[in-house]
Structure 1
Amino acid sequence: MFLWWQWYGTKWIWLCGACTMIYLKPYTLAHKTLWNAFNADSKNGLFLFDRDYMDYHSDRFKDNSLLFYEEDKLLALLPLNITDNVLYSHQGLTFGGFITGRTMKQEKMLECFTLLRTFMQEQGISKLIYKAIPYIYHKIPSQEDLYALFVNNAQLFRVDCSSSIALPHPIALPKGRKSQITRAKRENVQINQSQDFAAFVTLLNEVLQSRHQSKAVHSAEELALLSKRFPEQIKLFVAHQAQTLLAGALVFVYPHLIHTQYLAVNDKGREIGALDLLLKTLIDTYAQSKTYFDFGISTESNGTFLNTGLISQKEGFGGRTITHQFYELLSSGGGGIIPYLLFPFLLFYSFISLLFYCGIANATTMRRG
C-alpha cells in the first residue's frame, strides 16, 4: 500500500493504493459481444447502451466509443461519437457517460479520465461533451465519474429538469387529476398495449407540430425495429374510445424504473382525461415492481427555459425533480491550485506512511529469513 501526492487533470490530490495497469482500446465491431455482455452486468448499464440499440442510427453518428481495461479485464465502457473534432457521450442517446463494472472504484476512475484526456490530446480532439447518467438509473451507486469530472476541472454548462415519481412513496393526486381520471372511465376510454407504431407516431407528430413546430426523433419504422429487438424494454400503450386513438405512451422499461420516452394526446383525449387515465394505469401497473416512474425533461433551450405547463402536468401525478447534467471537459485542462498550506503536513504524513510500510516489509523479510 502506498500514499502519494499526484496531479490528476487540473488538481493535486492524495492517493492511497497499489499501482495497476489501466489502458484503453477503441471500439470495433469485434467487441460487440463483449460490450453487450459487460453492459448487461454493469453497475449502471442500460439497454440504451446495447450495440443493437446504439447502432440502429450508426449512419447518423460517427462512433468513437472506448473500452477501458485493467490489465486483461474489462473495467469500463464509454459510448462516444465524434463531430467536428468534439467527442460526445452521446448525441444519439438520452445520456451517456462511463458504464462501469462492480470493480470500478474512485481511484480507477481518476486513472480512466487521465487516459481519456491523453487519448484526446493524441487524437487532436479539443473537448468532450459528457452527459452523466442520472442516479435513479443506476443499479448500485456509480457516481465515480462526477468526482473525476470535478477533479479534471470539467465545467457544468447545462442542467435539465426531469420529473420522477418515487413509487414506494407516492404523493396524493390533486382533485382535478382525479376528476379527469373518473371522467375518462365514464367516457369508456380503454387502455391497451399496442404494436401500431405508425398510428402513434402520426398522433405524436401532429401534437409536436402544432405545439412545438417539431417532430419525433424516431420514425414509426425505427420504433417498430427497436421494439422487435427489445420487446421487454420498449412498449407502447394507448388510450382508445371506440376505435379512435386519443392518447399514447411509449415507455422504456429498465430494471427498477419506467421512463415515458414519448407522450401524446389529441384535443378530444385532453378534454375527457384519456392521458390522465393512461398514465394512472401505467403507474399502478408498475408500482409494485419498480422504484421510479420517470416522465423525462420539461426544459428547453439547453435547460434555460422551463416549460411550466408541461412540468405542472407531471408534478400533478406526484413527479418531483431530478436533474440531467451536462459537462464540458477540455483535453488541455485548466489551472488547478496546489493547497500550499496543507503541503508540509501531507508531505510529513507521506514520509511517515512510507517508513511504516518499509518497516512492515523489513519485518516480514526477517521472519521469512
Structure 2
Amino acid sequence: MYSIKKFNLEENKTVWNLFIKNNSEGHFFFETDYLFYHKERFNDFSLMIYDKKKELICVLPACLGVVGKSLVETMAEIISHQGLTFGVFIFKDNLSFLEKRKAFFSCLDFLKKNKFTDLIIKPLPSYFQLDNQKDDSIHRLLNDNLIESKILRVEANSMIFLPKNEIDYQEINYQNYSTRKKRNLKKAYQSNLKIEETELATDFWQIIEENLKLRHNLLPVHSVDEIQLLKDRFPKNIYFFVVKDIENHSEILACSVIFIYQSTIHLQYMAATKNGKQLNALDFLIDKLIKNYSIYFQNIDKNEFTYLSLGISELRNNAENSINEGLFKWKEEFGANTFSHFVYQIDIPS
C-alpha cells in the first residue's frame, strides 16, 4: 500500500529538493525556492507519495483552487500548480508504468478521502524532457478507463529547432524565415544594434509592463521584485537580455527574460519600445539567439540545446481561449513549429 503525505515546507524542503534535482523531469520551477517565492498567493497542497518500502517515488506540486483572488474554502478543487507554467505528477526515474499507475490511483484515493472533487494538471510537454528520458505515460494514466478526465484547454506554443552549427543555420533555419522576416533582419543588422546581458530587471521591466498594458490591458505575471528574486536564486536558469542602440547612447530598444529548461531555451517575456519596433530589435534578438545560443549561455554546465521556445500566443482572460493571430504569425515567420500544451481535469469520484 502506498502512503501519501501532505508536503510541509519546514519538514520536507530538503527531501523534496533532492528528489527534484535527481529527477530527469525535475525542472528548477519545481524546487521550493521557486515554488514558494509567492506562497502568500496560494494555499499549498503539494503531495509526497511513498511506496511500501517508505521510499519517495512521486511528488505532486499542487494548491487549492482559486476563484478570482480568494481561496476556495470548500477545498473542492486542487490544481497542479496555479503558480507554475506546468504542474503534474513527477515520478521517480525508471519507475515502471504499473508502479506509476498504483501511485497515481493512491493519490486520487487520498484526494477523495479529503473531499476533493477534481484535480487539474498541466503535463510537461515532450520538449521539456531529455531525449533519452522522454515518457508519455502520464497521458495514458489520464485516459485510464477507471477515471473520467477531459481536456480543459489546449495552448499553442511556438518552437524553433536550434541549429547544430553555422551550416545548419544557413541551410535550414534561415531558409525557413519568411521573406518579410529576412527583410526586417537586414534592416536590423544595418542599424548598429547590440545584445547585452544584464543582471537587473529594473533596466528594462518598464518596457514589458508598458507593452502588456498597451496591447492587452494586463500586467506581467511577475512583479519586477519577484522576477529579480527568482533571477538571483536561479542564475543558471534565468537570464535577462536587452538590445541596445549603439548610435543613440545605448538606448534599450528591446528586452527578454529567458528561462532555461534542460535542452530548451524559453522566452518567458519579450518586448520592444516604439523605436525598437521600427528597427526590428526583437527580430534581431531572436535571430542572434538562434544563431549564437552557445555564446550567450556559456556559464551553463551543459549548454547543448535543442529548442528555442517563443511561448504561447493565447489571449489571456479570454473565455474562448482564442489565439493572438498577429503574434502567432510573427513567430511562424521564424519557421517556428507548433507544439501543444494540454490542461486536464480529472474527476475524483465521490
Q: TM-score per shorter chain, which class?
A: 0.7 to 0.9
- From 71, 91, 94, the equivalent of 2:85 is 94
Residue 236, structure 1, aligned to residue 229, structure 2: no
Corresponding residue of 1:137 = 128
Unaligned runs of 5+ in 1: 1-20, 334-369
Provide the C-alpha distance between the structure 2 equivalents of 1:195 and 1:302, rounded to a whole number of angstroms: 37
1:294 maps to 309
Residue 177 in structure 1 maps to residue 181 in structure 2: yes
SS in 2 for 1:260: strand
Q: Equivalent residues in 2 for 1:159-178 (5 A)? A: 159-168=154-163, 170-171=172-173, 172-178=176-182
Cα distance between partner residues in 2 of 1:39 and 1:291: 22
Aligned partner of 2:231 among 197, 212, 227:
227
Q: Deviations over 1:304-354 (max 9, x none)?
A: 301111111111112111111011111117xxxxxxxxxxxxxxxxxxxxx
Kindly name which structure, 1 or 2, has the bigger radius of gyration based on alpha carbons.
Answer: 1
Q: Judging changes above 3 Å, is the alpha-carbon distance between structure 1 residues 88 and 111 closer, same or farther for their aligned structure 2 residues?
A: same
Classify 1:167/1:38 alpha carbon distance in 2 versus 1 (closer, same or farther; 3 Å): same
Residue 99 (structure 1) shift: 1.3
Change (3 A) 1:303 1:189: farther
- 1:50 equivalent in structure 2: 31
Q: Distance in 2 between matches of 1:116 and 1:303?
A: 32
1:59 equivalenced with 2:54 (yes/no): no
Distance 2:320 2:119 in 1: 19
Show the 5 A alignment for 1:347-358. none
Given the alignment, which residue of 282, 290, 300 partners 2:289? 282
Give unmatched runs, 5+ long, in structure 2: 66-71, 295-302
Give the CA RMSD over aligned residues.
1.6
Give the alignment partner of residue 76 of structure 1, picking from 12, 35, 58.
58
| Alpha-carbon distance in 1 for matches of 2:63, 2:134 | 26
- The Cα offsets for residues 120-150 of structure 1, whole Å up to 9 and x where unpaired, read as 1111111111111111101212322111111
1:223-245 CA distances to partner (integer Å, 9 max, x unpaired)? 11111100010000000113311
Runs of 4+ in 1 over 3 A off after TM superposition: 168-171
Matched, 1:213 2:217: yes
The normalised TM-score by structure 2 is 0.86
CA separation of 1:251/1:313 partners in 2, compared to 1, >3 Å: closer, same or farther? same
2:199 aligns to what?
195
Rounded Cα–Cα distance in structure 2 between residues aligned with 1:302 and 1:100: 33
Corresponding residue of 2:331: 314
Does the aligned pair in 1 maintain the 2:46–2:61 contact within 8 Å? yes
The 10-residue stretch of structure 1 (193-202 or 308-317) with the greater mean CA deviation from structure 2: 193-202
- Counterparts of 2:129 and 2:56 in 1: how far apart (Å)? 19
Say if 1:254 and 1:215 are closer, same or farther in 2 by CA, change over 3 A.
Answer: same
How far 1:207 moved relative to its partner?
0.5
By how many angstroms is 1:27 displaced? Answer: 0.7
> What is residue 6 of structure 1 aligned with on the other side?
none
2:96 equivalent to 1:105: yes
Following TM superposition, by how much is the alpha carbon of 1:113 offset from its aligned partner in structure 2, in angstroms? 2.1
Counterpart Cα distance in 2 of 1:250 and 1:328: 30
**TM, length-normalised to structure 1:** 0.81
Q: Say whether the 8 Å CA contact 2:50–2:57 is kept in structure 1.
A: yes
Q: Which residue of 2 aligns with 1:26?
A: 6
- Contact 2:178–2:335 under 8 Å retained in 1: no
CA distance in 1, matches of 2:34, 2:322: 30
Amino acid at match of 1:213: N
Q: Distance in 2 between matches of 1:254 and 1:66?
A: 23
Report the residue type matching 1:310 in the other structure. Answer: L
Matching residue of 2:112: 121
Aligned residues, how many?
313
1:166, distance to aligned residue in structure 2 (A): 1.7
Output one character per residue of 1:22-72: Cα deviation in whole Å (capped at 9) or x when no partner: 222111121111111111121311101010011101010111001111222
- Given that residues 118 and 347 in structure 2 are in contact (C-alpha distance below 8 angstroms), is that contact kept between their aligned partners in structure 1? yes
What is the percentage of aligned positions where both structures have the same residue?
32
Aligned counterpart, 2:21:
40
